[in-house]
Amino acid sequence: MAAIGTARKPSRRTAAVDAAESVLLDWFAQQGWQAFPFQREVWQRWRAGESGLLHTPTGSGKTLAAFGGALLDGLAGSAPPSPRLQLIWITPLRALAADTVRALRVPVEALGLGWQIAQRTGDASAKDKRLARAGRVDVLVTTPESLALLLSYADTAESLRGLRGVVVDEWHELLGNKRGTLLQLGLARLRRLAPGLRTWGLSATLGNLDEARDVLLSGAPISNEAPHGALVGGLAPRPLTLETLLPPAHERFAWAGHRGLAHLARVTQRVFEAGTSLLFTNTRLQAELWHAALAAVWPEAPDTLALHHGSLAPALRQAAEQGLRERRLRGVVATSSLDLGVDFPAVDQVLQLGSPKGLARLLQRAGRARHWPGEAASITCIPTHALELLEYAAARHALAQGRVEARPPPRLALDVLAQHCVSIALGGGFDADALYAEVRETHAYAELTSDDWQAVLDFIVRGGSALESYPDFRRVQRGADGLYRVEDRRIAYRHRLSIGTITSDGMVAVKFLRGATLGAVEEAFVGQLRRGDVFQFAGRSLSLVRFEDMTAYVRIARSRDGVNPTWRGGRLPLSNELGREVEALLARGDDSPEWQALQPLLHLQQRLSALPGPQHLLAESLLSRQGRHLFLYPFAGRRVHDGLAALLALRLARRAPNSFTYAANDYGLILTGANDFALEAAALNALLTPEGLDVDLAEAVNLSELARRQFREIARIAGLLPPSLPGRAPRSLRQLQASSGMIYDVLRRYDPQHLLLALAEREVRSRQLDVAGLAATLADLAARPLALHAPPSLTPLSFPLWAESFRGHLSNEDWNTRIARAAAQLEKKHG
């Protein structure tokens, strides 16, 4: 970071500055507001040329805090003549971009600044896109991907040189993924073009705020008083009321499942006790199911109920958002697509179906209701099965203690770096040494070695040693002047279509025969349908007419019966922070309504086995018709449990030949042996060691196959897989798999040290298997005494794991029916 001097308050301020602040504060007063101290602090630091991170709860005035400094510049006459690009506002969502444009225009128009505010995203108008590229706007609202696209044009550099500041909204949503990495590279380029560029991030509360600031501000101007950049705290967290919608005492609680439709009547009643309600679900399937269920009993006009999730067409999502703003809707069923900071002050209550699986997500969703400074946040949770009550009570306690999850940022994502290098080669070319120094200014690539940098250059110039014979992989050329450029217009066109790190391969558009597009579902789902089959999507019953060119043409079906699409990777994992709190709650107890409602189930767990806790590891062994089952409850989350189950299966099989199947959930894992196997606590404890983890894990799971699947995403980001061209049919998932698989095999055979192969294996270990988390869990478990019990039947804790192990088994009954019957039999047996 470059120091700019001191941030001490000047003893005398100019009359223009005083007058500007007076005008801005007068406007605040006209709205019935008073500027908060944190807002004025950010304005002052902006005027002093500083950068920083503002963390404050949703709905506390962060937009005006970040924009106020630029407004003061304009009012004081220190802003450049209009129109001249002076501020870029980065947002993670296109829908949020449109809302931000509206929010920023309000003070600009009220203060008579005459600024042009435009949007540059995939949804922007052609006019806005032209103005953005020419720099003929004052404030540009865009996304990380659209910023990267702007940087790929040589003629944008001149307009960016006058840039005075960048604001990154919802930085916590970008910090922990490759979109944030791409943005770090874009910010480094902007800082080279406009030295002294101020950078401000806006974030909800994080468990790693200092790191979040350091990642964002690496290379940004700082002050002597804040050598790492300013970290400004806003308002205290809004008071949060968490209520659980409990059934009557005589009503049976589901032991497993994810639908929660038994609460339909209670939820409907709760919705109509308020003006406008948001019902959040964790998956798109849940959203479709609950929208259909509510629609079947909805007592008001059908158009007062809406659906919102990421697979719906933009027009449908925008209609739901506008309906919320205009208060025309009584209810919206939504997924995380409405988590972020789109302002809906008209929302009166928020309901959460199932566990939110994370503290930060719970806070974010609760903040959607009464989205105004000073208003308390509240959320009503609807359990889909009994054990989710533990997560509600644990979340309430953890949030009261001020705990929330950290979001660790990725490092050395060389696929993103390769994409960025091609973009900069397109945007006028680059000198290798200068760009190397520039990217090392970022947190993501601060540890980039010269060897890895040379490998990236070699990759974009010739694809690596195994691919250099193929012209499509020779994308960048080094000229006689030493600069790296893209000379081929066809490569330039294809690269710009590929910019970004969001992959949506294998998605099929769902479209009426004559009319609008409804959204997209996965190819595997549509491939199972026959002509005339009915399915539920976008809140409608649809009949498949034909499937061609990755488009499913449909018409409205009369029947309300039909299958629901499923999406891969839909289930949210329990965060480690919340998982540990659940385990601690089971050991210490609670006086919450949820804990009281669970007493019959917890007493049964104790009678049959024992309760888990952080001071010991609970294990249960049970013999059934399927074989010997071993249940373990580390409470380390599904990803760690998946790896741990595979590891234990291998280590147990080494002791005595056997075949194991396994399954996992957020609380624990189940191992089932084809042959009975003897178990002693000491022997089992000896297997729970981190020693030999790398070797055993490589043998326990097919790392090569996992890396092969991960490689497809990496190859797409790095530019090895050409995009689908406009006007042509998108490629199917099978075609993408074949293309990426062929490249993967060629590299494995002829260039085994290729940088993208190494990256694929590293991401499998960190993202899919969480090897670091697994090692930490094993070290923790090895230090605990093991409590091995042999219950006479499945217990309340083991039943969901046993049920999970039956997913995918062939049967003429659906999973929910089988599990409900088994649960009823157990409850009858144990009274």
Which residues 6+ apart lie within 8 Å of 326 measured at CB?
346
pLDDT at 814: 53
pLDDT in tens, 583-614: 999 999 999 999 999 999 999 999 999 999 99
Does the pLDDT value for residue 370 go beyond 90?
Answer: no
Q: What is the mean pLDDT of residues 164-177?
A: 95
One-character DSSP codes across 638-707: HHHHHHHHHHHHHHHHHHS---EEEEE-SS-EEEEESS-----HHHHHHH---TTHHHHHHHHS-HHHHH
Whole-angstrom distance, CA of residue 509 vs CA of residue 236? 44
Residue 805 near residue 663, CB atoms below 8 Å = yes
Give 17's Cβ-side CA count (13 Å radius): 12
Does the pLDDT value for residue 815 go beyond 70?
Answer: no
Least confident piece of the model among 242-246, 262-266, 505-509? 505-509
SS3 helix, strand, coil % of the chain, rounded to 5? 45, 15, 40
Whole-angstrom distance, CA of residue 395 vs CA of residue 592? 12
Does the pLDDT value for residue 819 go beyond 60?
Answer: no
Full-model pTM: 0.88
Which residues 6+ apart lie within 8 Å of 279 measured at CB?
267, 271, 290, 294, 331, 332, 333, 334, 351, 353
Measured in degrees and rounded to the nearest 5, phi and psi for residue 216 equal -70, -40
Strand order in the sheet with 240-244: 240-244, 377-382, 349-353, 277-280, 331-334, 305-308
Select the more confidently predicted residue: 416 or 324.
416
pLDDT in tens, 92-112: 987 788 889 989 999 999 999
CB neighbours (10 Å) of residue 434?
10
Q: What is the dihedral of CA 369, 372, 378, 382, to 10 degrees?
A: 10
Distances (CA, A) of 762 to 410, 482, 744, 767: 11, 33, 15, 8
Q: What is the mean pLDDT of residues 786-791?
A: 95
pLDDT in tens, 29-84: 999 999 999 999 999 999 999 999 999 887 788 999 999 999 999 998 877 777 78
pLDDT at 730: 59
Per-residue pLDDT band at 250 (split at 50, 70, 90):
low
Whole-angstrom distance, CA of residue 602 vs CA of residue 645? 25
pLDDT in tens, 763-775: 999 988 899 999 9
Does the pLDDT value for residue 300 go beyond 80?
Answer: yes
Distances (CA, A) of 766 to 380, 505, 722: 34, 22, 27
At residue 204, the 3 state secondary structure works out as coil
Residue 500 near residue 716, CB atoms below 8 Å = no
Residue 357: both structure tokens together: 């699986």
Residue 371 near residue 344, CB atoms below 8 Å = yes
Residue 304 near residue 331, CB atoms below 8 Å = yes
Helices (H), 194-277: 209-217, 264-271
Whole-angstrom distance, CA of residue 630 vs CA of residue 635? 15
Whole-angstrom distance, CA of residue 552 vs CA of residue 304? 28
Least confident piece of the model among 262-271, 517-526, 717-726? 717-726
Which residues 6+ apart lie within 8 Å of 121 measured at CB?
94, 97, 141, 142, 143, 146
Q: What single-letter DSSP state applies at residue 59?
A: T
Q: What is the mean pLDDT of residues 198-206?
A: 90
pLDDT in tens, 704-755: 888 888 898 899 999 988 776 665 655 555 565 568 888 989 999 999 999 9
Q: What is the mean pLDDT of residues 316-330?
A: 90
Residue 223 near residue 4, CB atoms below 8 Å = yes
At residue 422, the 3 state secondary structure works out as helix
Least confident piece of the model among 227-241, 454-468, 661-675, 728-742? 728-742
Does the pLDDT value for residue 245 go beyond 80?
Answer: yes
> Is the four-CA dihedral 121, 124, 130, 131 of positive or negative sign?
negative
Cα of 776 vs its chain's centroid, Å:
24
State the first-to-last Cα distance of the chain, in angstroms, to the nearest integer: 66
pLDDT at 828: 58
Whole-angstrom distance, CA of residue 113 vs CA of residue 23? 12
> Is the four-CA dihedral 149, 153, 155, 160 of positive or negative sign?
positive
The proportion of the chain whose per-residue pLDDT surpasses 90, expressed as a percent, equals 58
Measured in degrees and rounded to the nearest 5, phi and psi for residue 172 equal -60, -25
CB neighbours (10 Å) of residue 310?
17
Mean predicted lDDT score pLDDT of the chain: 87
Does the pLDDT value for residue 9 go beyond 60?
Answer: no
Angle of helix 178-193 versus helix 414-426 axis, rounded to 10: 40
Does the pLDDT value for residue 10 go beyond 50?
Answer: no
The proportion of the chain whose per-residue pLDDT surpasses 70, expressed as a percent, equals 88
Per-residue pLDDT band at 550 (split at 50, 70, 90):
confident
Residue 363 near residue 404, CB atoms below 8 Å = yes
Does the pLDDT value for residue 817 go beyond 80?
Answer: no
Q: What is the mean pLDDT of residues 248-275?
A: 82
Whole-angstrom distance, CA of residue 160 vs CA of residue 66? 20
Whole-angstrom distance, CA of residue 374 vs CA of residue 239? 9
Select the more confidently predicted residue: 803 or 70.
70
Residue 255 near residue 384, CB atoms below 8 Å = no
Burial of 486 (0-12, 13-18, 19+ CB in 10 A): buried
Which residues 6+ apart lie within 8 Å of 3 measured at CB?
221, 222, 223, 224, 227
pLDDT in tens, 657-690: 888 999 999 999 999 998 888 888 888 989 999 9
Does the pLDDT value for residue 798 go beyond 60?
Answer: yes
User: Residue written as tokens 């990495």?
Assistant: 181
Which residues 6+ apart lie within 8 Å of 515 measured at CB?
none
Whole-angstrom distance, CA of residue 490 vs CA of residue 468? 18
Q: What is the mean pLDDT of residues 445-466?
A: 94
